[in-house]
Chain A
Amino acid sequence: MRFLVTASVLSIFLISCEKTFTYNANEIQIEEKDRDQNTKNLERLRSKPQSDSFNFVVISDTQRFYEELDDIVEKINRYPDISFVVLNGDMTDFGLRSEYLWTTHRLQKLSFPFLVVVGNHDMLGNGRELYKQMYGPENFGFSFSGYKFIVLNSNSQEVGHNGSLPDTTWLQQELSATPSQQKIFILSHLAPFSGDFDRSLEQAYVRMLTNNGNVIYSIHGHEDISYLGQPYGPPVNYLVVNSIKERSFVLIKVNSNNTEVEKVLF
């Protein structure tokens, strides 16, 4: 009798479970619908009408805060006029496939295109490979409404501060290739002033941004604080977006005259 009960429980489980079999906690097999999310969302973004004033949202460090993530998706979807949403790194806590899927399936409920920046936690175990398959390249740039956005892997500590992250050579090329009339936003998980950033690259990074002249914001996460300032002097603003565990996100309103940064509590 007990066996029959467990057997029927088992059959229900087999039907209802999303991932019936797990071969290893570190496995990374991914279905087509969850692949290349950044690439697919950039296509969605390209088909959107462009105008010289637009809004975008930055959230960060969603890690293991799925309830907050569900709430934030619902809150953002109530806005009528968001061009895109950026999750600025640490979409997982342990870099596992199950977490990548949990977070991605929640982001897929957003009414707006979304982009994910790689965070240090997302690189744990096979995380770096998962990010590559599910989101695409770690470093990439795109233009929207006459602005340039540069996304960068700045998680130096995950490679033992070996000088390879952030890839300053790539960044310099991307900055140089940007037309001079385009203002630039940079998005990466670790700020150059973060304790976990590669000290040997801090000055190079800062100089590159300052000397470029078109970079207006360098936007980060990781620190579990909210910060906006010019710690290295004008003209570059450094913005640190708090973890969603503090139930806040940042709304950035861009127009031809100025850029407003608004912290929204939810």
Chain B
Amino acid sequence: MLLFFLLVTTEKISAQKKGFKITPPDHIKVQYAGGLGFISIGAGYSTKNQKLEGDLSYGYLPKSIGGIRIHSISGKITWIPIHAVSVKKYQVEPLMTGLIVNYSFGKQYFSFDPPYYPYSYYSFPTAIHSALFLGSRIGLNFPENTFVRRVSLYYEILSFDREIISLVSNPKSLHITDIITLSLGVKVNID
């Protein structure tokens, strides 16, 4: 989250130097699953070299799907360590990896232990969950002069913090398939 805000701030400062007040996001994302909600919608910025991007999204999980209704917001930092490969109008980003931080709204969750617990009773916030992910993306480039520059489809394989901790302390009983889960999404680069 902090990194994301730093990223946004840096973008803003560089934009102000050029005489702009605010830079609109350079992409929007719509994602299915992956801990962000049944469906989530977000927007964000990429660095000039396209190696790093940061998004902020809102996600909704209806009761009929999740057993309980959950509104949440998430921050996502994606690092794209390998150069995109272009084939005709298509662009493949074979590897992306990063961190997701999700905050669920609801009075049953806490970010800090409520006052009725002894100090540091539970050392984890039930409202906040983070996850690490790996994924790939394939995109279709649009002509230079259009508002939509590229539409990409992506997937991410992710694992949540508490599940990684559980696997690490139980390597014989838990398996990687117990802790990984999938997201599918669409990223739209805009001008």
A179 CB–B CB distance under 8 Å: no
Given A17-B177, A23-B37, A28-B68, A67 and B172 contact (CB-CB distance below 8 Å): yes
- Assess the A67–B162 pair: CB atoms within 8 A: no
Compute how far the CA of A126 lies from the CA of B155 in the bound complex, rounded to whole angstroms: 28
Given A23-B61, A25-B102, A125 and B94 contact (CB-CB distance below 8 Å): no
Compute how far the CA of A69 lies from the CA of B68 in the bound complex, rounded to whole angstroms: 29
| Distance of A74 from chain B, by nearest CB (Å) | 12
The tally of residues in A whose CB lies under 8 Å from a CB in B reads: 44
Nearest-CB residue, chain B, relative to A125: B126
B38 CB–A CB distance under 8 Å: yes
A14 CB–B CB distance under 8 Å: yes
- Assess the B166–A67 pair: CB atoms within 8 A: no
B160 CB–A CB distance under 8 Å: yes
Compute how far the CA of A129 lies from the CA of B108 in the bound complex, rounded to whole angstroms: 11
B54 CB–A CB distance under 8 Å: no
B181 CB–A CB distance under 8 Å: yes
- Assess the B163–A98 pair: CB atoms within 8 A: yes
Interface residues of A in 15-53 (CB under 8 A from B): 16-30
Residues in B with CB closer than 8 Å to A3 are 92, 94, 136, 138
Interface residues of A in 150-191 (CB under 8 A from B): 157, 160-161
Compute how far the CA of A52 lies from the CA of B16 in the bound complex, rounded to whole angstroms: 84
- Assess the A24–B170 pair: CB atoms within 8 A: no
| Distance of B176 from chain A, by nearest CB (Å) | 9
Nearest-CB residue, chain A, relative to B70: A24
From B95, B169, B172, B181, contact of A19 by CB (8 A): B181
Residues in B with CB closer than 8 Å to A30 are 67
Interface residues on B, range: 35 or more
- Assess the B37–A10 pair: CB atoms within 8 A: no
Interface residues of B in 153-170 (CB under 8 A from A): 155, 157, 160, 162-163, 165-166, 169-170
Residues in A with CB closer than 8 Å to B78 are none
Residues in B with CB closer than 8 Å to A24 are 35-37, 59, 61, 66, 70, 72, 102, 104, 129
From A7, A10, A126, contact of B68 by CB (8 A): A126
* Residues 69-82 of chain A, each 1 if its beta carbon lies under 8 Å from chain B, else 0: 11000000000000
Residues in B with CB closer than 8 Å to A16 are 177
From A124, A129, A157, contact of B116 by CB (8 A): A157
Residues in A with CB closer than 8 Å to B15 are none
- Assess the B68–A13 pair: CB atoms within 8 A: no
B173 CB–A CB distance under 8 Å: yes
From B70, B82, B138, B181, contact of A21 by CB (8 A): B181
Most buried by A among B82, B136, B183: B136
Given A14-B182, A17-B182, A102 and B174 contact (CB-CB distance below 8 Å): yes
From B65, B117, B129, B182, contact of A26 by CB (8 A): B129
| Distance of A69 from chain B, by nearest CB (Å) | 7
- Assess the B177–A13 pair: CB atoms within 8 A: yes
Nearest-CB residue, chain B, relative to A17: B177
From A2, A13, A27, contact of B70 by CB (8 A): A27
- Assess the B92–A13 pair: CB atoms within 8 A: no
A94 CB–B CB distance under 8 Å: yes
- Assess the B61–A27 pair: CB atoms within 8 A: yes
B24 CB–A CB distance under 8 Å: no
Compute how far the CA of A36 lies from the CA of B111 in the bound complex, rounded to whole angstroms: 30
A to B CB contacts below 8 Å, 18 in the list: A17-B182, A22-B33, A23-B38, A24-B37, A24-B72, A25-B160, A26-B68, A26-B109, A28-B66, A28-B67, A30-B67, A64-B166, A69-B173, A70-B172, A70-B173, A99-B166, A125-B108, A133-B67
- Closest CB pairs A-B (n = 9): A28-B67, A160-B116, A25-B129, A66-B173, A21-B33, A27-B66, A29-B67, A22-B181, A125-B126
